[in-house]
A and B are shown apart, each in its own frame.
Chain A
Amino acid sequence: METEAQTQYSFRMPVKLVFGVGAGGDVSAEMAELGRRRAFVVTDSSIASSGSAFDKLIKGLGPRLAGVFKEVTQDSGFEIIDKAANMAADAEADCVVSVGGGSVIDTGKGICVALKNGGSIRDHMGVNILAEPQTPHIVLPTTSGTGSEVTNVAVIYDSVEKRKKNLLDHHIYPNTAVLDPEFLVGLPQAVTAATGMDAVTHAIEALHSMMKNPVSDALALQTLGLMNQWLPVAWAEPANIAARGHTLVASNLAGAAFSNAMVGLCHAIAHGLGGVARVPHGLANSIALPHVMRFNLEVSPGLYDQAAKALGLSAGEDVAGWVEGMARRMELPMTLKDAGVAEDSLVEVAEAAMTDGAALYNPRPVFEPDEIMPLLRLIWAGN
């Protein structure tokens, strides 16, 4: 399928990657390269008390540690960011080091903006309005999922309007992503499975997006190959450092792919499910993805032929089945019904999904909630 984006595209990936078992102990060197002296560490309470890898990071920072903020919550919002930015300013921090999953990393991005510009993060919401580089940001992901360490978006909860908002800006790409598999050892199986399927969804959606291009394709296909081989291993053997490393890299590649190619209808639905029915993001994607793929295939045969090749499958039509196989193998719920979603919430989910930017890039255009109701019922019931 030839789209406008394929004949004319740009690709942005300005983040330095550092990979290594134990690399988290050497963040000081990355700070020195950025000319920074005082690190403000942002994380959540469970990571802060998780032991070895985090302790190694703190010890490694030594005198460069300006403070630790461990109050990030799942739906981190304006208030948390403002509070942390004030603390960072009081501590005279000159860089932010985020250690965590998507919520922590996005909170870190917000802190960098608030710290640089002053005032509340509320005053800086928008798309590409920041005029200059922000407070330097080093990120250590602790899931092989969101890929947020290489994206230019932060999802921030507005507790007044009770919904998530996007801060999208080329100046919020982190400076450095330190990929240390030790941070993933011990991640619970259910989290490994769901966040891994989120990364798989990033790859598949980058491959079917209207904004796909050859560079994002290459990264997405590599993601699928790595996840196919290593995600089930990381799930079955939580302390397998090689499996943790490969899946961490895979989620990172998928992040770089989708931050350029964007995602599609599956993410729009997952965001709707998160907001309306509190379904965890990765799980929502895992359940919805095969159905969205079949929905897209109806109008665009051949859409997943590249993916099939990368996975060693004979036809593009088999890729949705591969997704289901992965989820089943890792004992994830296969339907929204099994995930505890009430059927009567689907109308609200459809409405929320259609207000989500991700839907704009789906290869099968959809605009009205009614158009996706049959699909949602299928995702709910499974057949």
Chain B
Amino acid sequence: MSHKFPSDAWTQSFGRVINASDDYKQRGKNWRAGAVSFIVTAAPEVGMTQDFGMFLDLHEGECRSARSCDLTEAEKAPFMIRAEYGWWKSVIRGNLEPVRGLITGKLKLKGDLTVIVRHIGAAKSLAECASHVETIFLDEA
């Protein structure tokens, strides 16, 4: 079933795709650095009037929970990645590799980049999982 991105339903579906992925189970098995939150910045042009937060509790190759969250909660995650709607769309479509996105300033990270780099395989696997979520993009709905 398709879900609008971003939404709570999309985030939950993302969590299910992660947990169904043998690739993530393998490549994310050493991730013990805590939760990751994603913020999609408000984009009135596609009908998003407020920032949208997603919270993923990732641990040793498993996604223990995935849901939307408010910004205060997102801030509490040890890793918070923020980007504009269009860049998230590029990541989900597989057109923007996440670390390249960080370095070129399209994605913004609060947290320690070296930890992300050490788990680059897990990060790439997560991006692949996102591309497998059946997604309806707001600007295409």
Contacts and interface: CB of A to CB of B under 8 A. Distances in A.
B105 A126 contact: no
Interface in B107-139: 107-114, 117-118, 120-121
B33 interface: no
A163 B117 CA distance: 14
A126 B111 contact: yes
Interface residues of A, number: 20
A127 B114 contact: no
A129 B117 contact: no
Nearest to A130: B108
Contact of B99 (A129, A165, A354, A357): A357
Contacts of B82: 129
Interface string A114-135: 0000000000011111000000
Contacts of B107: 127-128
A277 B69 CA distance: 44
A355 B109 contact: no
Interface in A52-69: none
A128 B117 contact: no
B109 A128 contact: yes
Contacts of B100: 211
Contact of B113 (A163, A168, A354): A168
Contact of B114 (A128, A165, A262): A165
Interface of A: 10, 125-129, 163-166, 168, 170, 211, 262, 354-357, 360, 367
Given A126-B112, A129-B109, A163-B114, 5 more contacts: A126-B110, A127-B108, A128-B108, A129-B108, A367-B121
Interface of B: 82, 99-100, 102-105, 107-114, 117-118, 120-121
19 contacts: A10-B104, A125-B111, A125-B112, A126-B108, A127-B109, A127-B113, A128-B102, A128-B107, A129-B108, A129-B109, A168-B102, A168-B103, A168-B113, A354-B118, A357-B99, A357-B113, A360-B99, A367-B120, A367-B121
